Structure 1
Amino acid sequence: MNVVTFKPSPQEKKQSLKTGIFIGFVIFLCYHVYSYINFTYFSDEERQVSTLSLADINYIPFTSGYDLPSAAFKFYTKGENGVLQAQEKSLKDFIGKPMIIHMWATWCPPCVQEMPIYNQFAGNVSNIQNFAIMSGQVSVDDIDAFYKQKKLNNLSIITDEKSIILSGYKLSSLPTTIFVNAKGKPLGFITGPVSWDDKDVVELVQRILAGE
């Protein structure tokens, strides 16, 4: 078998060398321009790309066509004399803006530990309605004392004495967080504490609530 070997002329070798040097210079220049822009105009947090997934925060989407409960729950506010006053409202009254329904109890250690962090989260987001709802029969005075002790100033006292919400969604564990979009559609839930102070988790929560 005959093999033909191409041998470039000296001029062609010189031209190839020039081309290689030029391409190398362009690559070098582009890399340093990118590095300068990246480290000059973006913070460390902005340069980091989150790899956190919904599975990492134990998010489970609802597979059944659940609706918000029609039942009325007690929303407590304090009057001028400092006495708690109850007003019955349905969660359906708040359709129009995304909701987080956070089910908890004073007798639940993980709930007690999580509530201060969730309170901070609630104070930092303005596009989400946050409802921390006490599940089960507990004295409202005990709940109020807990709120005062933990300085939960961003959350209202709400009670679900018959655990209607958990039973309606066939859930039984605490804490449990339910996500509802602006149209009032329950999207899914997380069982267990949530890292509400984690930036990546907050971004995932915003993504969940933007769902249809």
Structure 2
Amino acid sequence: MKKVVLALTLVIILAGAFYEVKHFNTSTSNNQSVSEQITSTSNSSTSSTNYNTSSPQINPNAFNSKAIDFKLKDLNGKDVSLSDLKGKRVFLNFWASWCPPCRGEMPDIEKLYDETKDSDLVIIAINLGEDKDTVRSFIDKNNYKFKVLLDSDEYVAQKYSITSIPTSFFIDKNGTIVAKKIGAMSYEEMKDYVNTINK
């Protein structure tokens, strides 16, 4: 009887060990591929010459949710609310002046702004955590004209679950998020995303 119990116990231990090894190998493989994706994404978003220029991948099930309303001050101290922009298309960009990929895409945001300023597209760049003087100095130095809002305490960034910058949202005339992009974009990619709004 003792031999049967001992043999059974040994089989259970070996089966458990086999499962753990197999599970560990699968888990390690999955983690490695996720790590490689993160590295690849990081490399593409930090290089100003290595943008992803493929067409935007829009998954309607991932979005189609209402953009969260907010009220922030612009560089002139005027309140701006997202709800005030209902009926317009919105390109919402989260950034900071210390962020190289953010700085890298800003000339293209300005180019897009120049081409669309008389249309129903509103470009809003929300600065995260910096004081007004720092932001104004950066914007003035580069002669950017698109609207900049200050999220000094990063409250709006938290509402939008911003984990890295730049991050951009593309919002339709009804206030619905139709696309999101994490990382820097080229001018062509920005146009592709903008074209997905209210197609």
Change (3 A) 1:60 1:167: farther
Q: CA deviation at 1:158?
A: 0.9
Alignment of 1:125-140 (within 5 A): 125=116, 126-136=119-129, 138-140=130-132
Alignment of 1:141-180 (within 5 A): 141-152=133-144, 154-180=145-171
TM-score, structure 1 as length reference: 0.61
The Cα offsets for residues 58-87 of structure 1, whole Å up to 9 and x where unpaired, read as: x6666256333333111223xxxxxxxx02
Q: Secondary structure at the match of 1:209?
A: coil
1:183 and 1:128 map into 2 onto residues whose CA distance is 13
The Cα offsets for residues 180-210 of structure 1, whole Å up to 9 and x where unpaired, read as: 00111112210111111x3xx3552233212
The letter of the residue matching 2:122 is Q
Higher helix share: 2
Equivalent position of 2:71 in the other structure:
72
Change (3 A) 1:60 1:157: same
The Cα offsets for residues 109-160 of structure 1, whole Å up to 9 and x where unpaired, read as: 1111211221111111123110011012x121111111121111x2123111
Equivalent position of 2:55 in the other structure:
53
1:67 and 1:76 map into 2 onto residues whose CA distance is 26
Change (3 A) 1:111 1:70: same
Q: Secondary structure at the match of 2:174?
A: coil
The answer for unaligned runs of 5 or more in structure 1 is 1-50, 78-85
The letter of the residue matching 2:88 is K
Cα contact 1:60–1:189 (8 A) shared by 2:
no
Cα contact 2:179–2:193 (8 A) shared by 1:
no
1:62 and 1:115 map into 2 onto residues whose CA distance is 29
Identical columns (%): 23
1:62 and 1:87 map into 2 onto residues whose CA distance is 35
Cα contact 2:110–2:146 (8 A) shared by 1:
yes
Change (3 A) 1:151 1:62: farther
Change (3 A) 1:162 1:60: farther
Compute the RMSD of aligned alpha carbons.
Answer: 2.3
How many residues of Structure 1 are paired with residues of Structure 2 in the alignment? 145
The answer for unaligned runs of 5 or more in structure 2 is 1-52
2:142 and 2:149 map into 1 onto residues whose CA distance is 16
Q: Which runs of 4+ in 1 moved over 6 A?
A: none
Q: Secondary structure at the match of 1:116?
A: helix
Q: CA deviation at 1:172?
A: 0.9
Q: CA deviation at 1:106?
A: 0.9
Equivalent position of 1:182 in the other structure:
173
1:183 and 1:74 map into 2 onto residues whose CA distance is 23
Cα contact 2:70–2:156 (8 A) shared by 1:
no
Change (3 A) 1:168 1:185: same
Higher relative contact order (CA 8 A, sep 6+): 2
The letter of the residue matching 1:205 is Y
Change (3 A) 1:109 1:202: closer
